[in-house]
Chains A and B, each alone.
Chain A
Amino acid sequence: MIDVRALQAGVGQFRLADIHLKIDAGDCHVIVGPTGAGKTFLLETIIGIREPGSGTILINGQDVTRLPPNKRHVAYVPQDTCLFPNMTVDQNIRYGLRFGNGSRAADHEFIGHLNDFLHITPLLERYPQHLSGGEKQRVALARALVTKPDLLVLDEPFSAIDHSLREEIRRTLKELLDEFHTTTLIVTHDLDEAFFLGNRLSILIGGRIIQSGDRTEIYYYPKTLAAASFLGIKNLFRGQVVDIRPDEITISSEQLHRTIAVSCKCAHKRFGLRQQIRFGIRSEAVYILRHKANLEARTSVFDSIVKKIYMRGKMHTVIVALDTPEHTLVEIDIHDAAARKIGIAEGGVLKIDLDPTHIFLLPEV
């Protein structure tokens, strides 16, 4: 288990502030954030090439905060893989066995299994210069896992790989982590990658972790405006709390001209009566209703007019204006096949539902 407590570190004007991070054994945790958020800096502090100002890093209960990288049992795969060009694939993979890893080091059977799993057995005699991006990534993973590390750290693992190969390598990595139960920390700015790989995620912005949680929680229920913006959520509205119960909160929104009841755990602890708040919903959680649907009584159902359709391959983004005095715009993501079936066209009328079970609430800043 990895336990980072109150970690603070800085370089120049940049500071990592009060980082808390727990990764259970065998879990895959993804730190996601925009460029310049401090993801790589945090990772470098955890692997030991930067010294923190304060805080502790515990790996399986051992305090490694002041240990050099070669004593931490943390394997690192940088974004450009950094395979040693002066060694063959086989020599690269076995590199970690040279240095006193003793009983931790993998045996030949394990290496063979790893090589087969990653389909690199036919590549063993080649030099890295003669490998494709995907092959390099697989070799780098094998090299890291051979030492049976307590923590595997991956920095933007797919950024140097062609788009066409990414999905394949992502699946390979996912299967690999499931097969070998390696505790893993990944940093990335790619949300697709983060939600695909991480069991748990943390959003890092400006050197601070602003939210940690499981995949669904982070995906549908951001807790701050910064997190919602980073996740690319466009449907954000203003409202006021008009009623609070332990697990439900009622919001009145002049912007939407409605009063909507939303499920919210511990609502009374997070919000107060008459508090101005923001609330929002992901574009794929906005449903388009058939005209005969029996949901008209719901206060979250709106008539709308399609203003714009953006075709994005298998998904379309539909911008609609609600039939309210303010004509508030709402973004909807819908599959190409569904859009064709419904026959969505610009200027057409749609009945939509801002599904209250997917509405998230944010304190007004």
Chain B
Amino acid sequence: MNNGFRRVTIFAALSLFLLFALLVLSLFGFTSLSGFLRIATSERVITSMQLSVGAALMATGLSLLIAIPAGYALSRYEFFGKNLVDLTLEVPMVVTPVALGALLLIFLNTRFGELLRQAGFSFVFTFPGIVLAQFVTTVGIATRMVKTTFDGISQRYEVVACTLGATPTEAFTSVALPMAKQGILATTVLTFAKCIGEFGATIMIAGSMPMKTETLPISIFMRLSTADIQGMAVLILILLFIGLSALVFIKTVLETSHD
């Protein structure tokens, strides 16, 4: 292999890391340890963290509740409208989260939204609104990931299980689902990480009410708008810590599963 080519490709890989390392390191120029601890332990930031983590957990759970059966159906069955459903999964990727949030807002102002409100489901400027925004932006990608996981598992395992007496549901729960465990775990963590970082759709529906709907990303935006650079740097570090922890967790789990 050409040595020059090797060096160029490795340089590209290292420069990628260098870029993000520099970006993160630049944050430390705007805060000290004492400043970090003071801001990170303030009631407003703790509430933001609680809101972010709580909403992300709920949205992740809801996403998986839909993504697992939907991903399985897309992977295993032929049905009317399958291609359309498949295409829909990418909508949150091609439509920006702000537009998606606006869509939700418009929908909630229709007659159907009115009916939901009358039934006691209130989303605008509320915690459920945060969950809804995060759910809508992640459910498609979670379904795509689950589908890819099941695509990687031969359907013959379930066929064998059925010939041994299992019903399709029993074959799914006793064979396919345990075999998809690693993929579903990775989907869970990545969905959670994406929920934690969700901004556009959340601010459109839930707004930016401190101590009520101000999640970590929204809090970062609010601090920037008031020129509180130190506060913003601390919040970014917290967000980075949560996101990176999730990614390291996935990597560890997946590597363990290959041993």
| A147 contacts across to B, CB distance below 8 A | 164-165
Contact A99 B157 (CB under 8 A): no
Contact A76 B165 (CB under 8 A): no
Quick one: which of A212-229 are within 8 Å of B by CB?
none
| A69 contacts across to B, CB distance below 8 A | 159, 162-163
Smallest beta-carbon distance B12→chain A, Å: 36
Smallest beta-carbon distance B259→chain A, Å: 10
Q: Determine the residue in chain A with the shortest Cβ distance to B162.
A: A69
| A72 contacts across to B, CB distance below 8 A | 163
Contact B154 A75 (CB under 8 A): no
Once the chains are docked, how many angstroms separate the CA of A69 from the CA of B160?
A: 9
Contact A70 B166 (CB under 8 A): yes
Once the chains are docked, how many angstroms separate the CA of A86 from the CA of B166?
A: 16
Smallest beta-carbon distance A155→chain B, Å: 9
Smallest beta-carbon distance B214→chain A, Å: 43
| B185 contacts across to A, CB distance below 8 A | none
Chain B residues touching A, range: 10 to 19
| A84 contacts across to B, CB distance below 8 A | 157, 161, 175, 178-179
Given contacts A47-B159, A69-B159, A80-B154, contact A86 B179 (CB under 8 A): yes
Once the chains are docked, how many angstroms separate the CA of A175 from the CA of B215?
A: 68
Interface assignment of B228: CB less than 8 Å from any CB of chain A: no
| B159 contacts across to A, CB distance below 8 A | 47, 49, 69, 76, 78, 82
Given contacts A78-B156, A84-B157, contact A47 B165 (CB under 8 A): no
| B174 contacts across to A, CB distance below 8 A | 95, 98
Q: Determine the residue in chain A with the shortest Cβ distance to B160.
A: A82
Interface assignment of A36: CB less than 8 Å from any CB of chain B: no
Contact pattern, A 112-135, Cβ under 8 Å of B = 1, otherwise 0:
000000000000000000000000
Smallest beta-carbon distance A150→chain B, Å: 11
Contact A70 B175 (CB under 8 A): no
Once the chains are docked, how many angstroms separate the CA of A16 from the CA of B179?
A: 33
Smallest beta-carbon distance A152→chain B, Å: 10
Contact pattern, A 71-98, Cβ under 8 Å of B = 1, otherwise 0:
0101111101010111000000001101
Interchain residue pairs with CB less than 8 A apart (15): A49-B162, A69-B163, A75-B163, A76-B159, A76-B160, A78-B159, A82-B157, A82-B160, A84-B175, A85-B179, A86-B179, A95-B164, A147-B164, A147-B165, A153-B163
| Top 8 A-B residue pairs of the complex, sorted by shortest distance between their CB atoms | A99-B165, A96-B164, A86-B178, A69-B162, A76-B163, A78-B156, A82-B160, A70-B162
Q: Which B residues are within 8 Å of any A CB, using their own CB?
A: 154, 156-157, 159-167, 170, 174-175, 178-179, 181
